[in-house]
Amino acid sequence: MLKAADDSVMEQEDSTSQHKEMASWDINDIKLPQHVSHTDWFQEWPDSYVKHIYSSEDKNAQRHHSSWAMRNTNNHNSRILKKSCLGVVVCGNDCSTLDGRKIYLRPAICDKARQKQQRKCCPNCNGPLRLLSCRGHGGYPVTNFWRHEGQFIFFQSKGAHDHPRPETKLEAEARRSMQKAKTAFSPSSLRLKRIQEIESLTGAVPTQEPLLLSKPDAHMPHASFRGHLRKSSQEPMLSSCSGQLSYPRTSGEDGASREAPTWSRSLSLKRTPGHVLPLTKGAHHPFRSDVGPLGDGSCGEKSPLTYSGSCLSLPPYPAPQRGPCPVASGAQPHRQLPLPPRGSGGDRGGGGHQVCLNYCNNDVFFNLYPLR
DNA sequence: AGGTGCGGGGGGA
DNA sequence: TCCCCCCGCACCT
C-alpha cells in the first residue's frame, strides 16, 4: 500500500521533472511558449519551484485555485496574478487529537476573517490558535503566479512550503457550516429556546434539564462514525441533501489527483479520466483522505464539539499531516507520511466518543460527514 | 461572511 | 526599481 503510493509519487516526480526540463519559460517572460504539446493536470498542492501549463478550459486554473491558503498579492502587474501563501493555523498548545493528529486549520484569506479566526480557540483543546506563517521563499511566503496567455494558463510557484498543509477550502467551508449548524442546534440555543417556550406558556423557568437532545437509542458510537464517515473535502455535493455522494475524491497532486483531478468538482474537464476513483485512492493522500472537518470552536459561547458540555463528539480534524513540515516535509514538502491507522483504532474513542445530538443524524451532518 | 481580484500606497533592499 | 505588505473597494457566492 505504502509502497504503491510511494511508487506513484515517484512516477509523478519523474514526470514532473521531465516536464520541468521542458519548462524553460519564466512567468515574467515577455513571450511565453506558444506551442504547448500537452497541458498539465491541475495541481491542487503545488509546491517547490514548479511550473505548470494548464488549459484555459481548466476551471480550477481559471479560478487560480490552490489548496494552500493563498491570498492575492498586489504585484502591480495586471497581466500576472500573484498570490502568496498564508501558511497554516495551528494549535498554540501543539495539541494532538486522540489519534495523534495535529490541528492544521486553513487560514482565512480575508484579513478580517483571519484576525477573527485567530481569536478563536483550538477546536481540539480550546487552546489559542496560532498562525504559522509560510516562509518558504527566502523567508517570505511561497508565491504562486498565474498568467493567462491564449489557450493556456501558465502557473509558476516560487518557494517550498515550510509548513504543513492546511485544510482544503472545502474542508474549511464544511467546518464553518458545521460550526453554524452546531450553533443553531447547540444545547444552549435549544435550551434557551425551550426556556422561552416554557416561559411563554407557563411563565415558569425550568431549573434543571438534561442537555441530551436525543433518545438514548439515537446515540451513535464514535467507532461507527469513524467507520462510515469520511471527509467531504472538495466533494462536489456539499449541498446535497440526499446523503448520496457523487463520488469521493482524493486530494493533492500526489497520486490519485495526478491521475485524476477528482477534486475538480463536477467540472467538465476535457482531460477527465473516464473512471471514478475508488475510495482506496485516498491512500495516496493519506493525510487528507479520511478526515472529517470539525468545528472551529471559538472561545465564546461556542464551545468545540468535542469538548463541549454536550456529548457530541466527532472524528478528528483536518489535515492530519505528520509533523510540522520542516522535519516532515524537508526537501519534499509535498510528500506526506501516512496517517496513523484509523480502522484498527476505530473503537479506541470508545466511551468518550458518543454522539448525542439528533442533528448528527440529519442532512446537515451527513453532508459534512458523508458516508463512505 | 468570506473569497477573489484590482489598485493605491508605504517601506525596505 | 523591485519586492513585500497593508489597505480599501467592488464583485461574487
Whether residues A141 and A239 fall in one domain: no
Whole-angstrom Cα distance, residue A55 to residue A42? 9
Q: Is the CB of A140 under 7 A from strand C?
A: yes
> Which pLDDT tens digit goes with each residue over A200-247?
434 333 333 322 223 333 333 333 333 333 333 333 333 333 333 333
Q: Is the CB of A105 under 7 A from strand B?
A: no
The CA–C1' separation of A209 and B3, in angstroms, is 42
In a domain, A35, yes or no: yes
Of A54 and A289, which is predicted with more confidence? A54
Q: What's the pLDDT score for residue A312?
A: 34
Q: Is the CB of A65 under 7 A from strand B?
A: yes
Q: What's the pLDDT score for residue A230?
A: 35
A34: CB partners within 8 A, 6+ apart: A150
Q: Is the CB of A25 under 7 A from strand C?
A: no
**Bases along strand C below 7 A from a protein CB:** 3-7
Whether residues A272 and A180 fall in one domain: yes
Whether residues A180 and A283 fall in one domain: yes
Statement: residue A113 has pLDDT above 50? yes
Q: Looking up cell 493556456, which residue turns up?
A: A152
Whether residues A321 and A291 fall in one domain: yes
Whole-angstrom Cα distance, residue A236 to residue A366? 14
Whether residues A152 and A239 fall in one domain: no
Whole-angstrom Cα distance, residue A142 to residue A166? 14
Q: What's the pLDDT score for residue A272?
A: 35
Confidence label for A76 from pLDDT (cuts 50, 70 and 90)? confident
Which nucleotide across the nucleic acid strands is nearest to A135, CA versus C1'? C4
In a domain, A112, yes or no: no
SS3 A152: strand
Which cell numbers hold the place of A181? 449548524
Q: What's the pLDDT score for residue A103?
A: 86
Statement: residue A67 has pLDDT above 80? yes
pLDDT (average), residues A113-126? 84
In a domain, A126, yes or no: no
Whether residues A180 and A153 fall in one domain: no
Q: Looking up cell 478528528, which residue turns up?
A: A316
Q: Which helix (H) or strand (E) holds A178?
A: helix A169-185
Dihedral pair phi/psi, residue A55, rounded to 5° = -70, 145
Where in the sequence is the domain holding A273, given as residue range(s)?
A: 167-368
Number of domains in chain A: 2
Whether residues A145 and A195 fall in one domain: no
The CA–C1' separation of A58 and B4, in angstroms, is 17
Whether residues A202 and A283 fall in one domain: yes
Q: What's the pLDDT score for residue A296?
A: 40
The CA–C1' separation of A288 and B8, in angstroms, is 40
**In whole angstroms, what separates CA A69 from the centre of its chain?**
10
Q: What's the pLDDT score for residue A117?
A: 85
CA-based nearest residue to A155, from A37, A280, A64: A64
Whole-angstrom Cα distance, residue A147 to residue A28? 9
Which nucleotide across the nucleic acid strands is nearest to A109, CA versus C1'? B3
Whether residues A280 and A204 fall in one domain: yes
Confidence label for A129 from pLDDT (cuts 50, 70 and 90)? confident
Q: What's the pLDDT score for residue A202?
A: 40
Of A29 and A355, which is predicted with more confidence? A29
**Bases along strand B below 7 A from a protein CB:** 1-9
Here the CATH number for the domain that contains residue A32 is: 2.20.25.670
Whether residues A275 and A358 fall in one domain: yes
> Which pLDDT tens digit goes with each residue over A320-346?
443 333 333 333 333 333 333 333 333
Q: Is the CB of A372 under 7 A from strand B?
A: no
In a domain, A92, yes or no: no
In a domain, A198, yes or no: yes
Q: Which residue is nearest to nucleotide C5 (CA to C1')?
A: A73
Contact A308, A274 (CB under 8 A): no
> Which pLDDT tens digit goes with each residue over A244-286?
333 333 333 333 333 333 333 333 333 433 233 333 333 333 3
In a domain, A129, yes or no: no
In a domain, A111, yes or no: no
Whether residues A150 and A57 fall in one domain: yes
The CA–C1' separation of A110 and C11, in angstroms, is 15
The CA–C1' separation of A75 and B11, in angstroms, is 15
Q: Is the CB of A114 under 7 A from strand C?
A: no
Percentage of chain A beyond pLDDT 90 is 0
Q: Is the CB of A76 under 7 A from strand C?
A: yes
Instruction: Give A220's strand partners.
Output: A355
In a domain, A117, yes or no: no
Of A93 and A349, which is predicted with more confidence? A93
Q: What's the pLDDT score for residue A140?
A: 85
pLDDT (average), residues A358-366? 35
Whole-angstrom Cα distance, residue A254 to residue A56? 22
List C-alpha distances in Å: A248 to A243, A319, A370: 13, 17, 9
Statement: residue A133 has pLDDT above 70? yes
Q: Is the CB of A78 under 7 A from strand B?
A: yes
Whether residues A25 and A150 fall in one domain: yes
> Which pLDDT tens digit goes with each residue over A141-187?
888 888 888 888 888 888 888 888 888 888 887 777 776 676 665 55
Contact A246, A217 (CB under 8 A): no
Angle at the Cα of A331 from the Cα atoms of A128 and A84, rounded to 5 degrees: 55
Among A106-115, A219-228, A289-298, which range has the highest average pLDDT?
A106-115
Q: In whole numbers, what is the pLDDT of chain A averaged over residues?
A: 57
The CA–C1' separation of A76 and B11, in angstroms, is 16
**In whole angstroms, what separates CA A241 from the centre of its chain?**
21
> Which pLDDT tens digit goes with each residue over A22-32?
567 877 777 77
The CA–C1' separation of A139 and B6, in angstroms, is 26
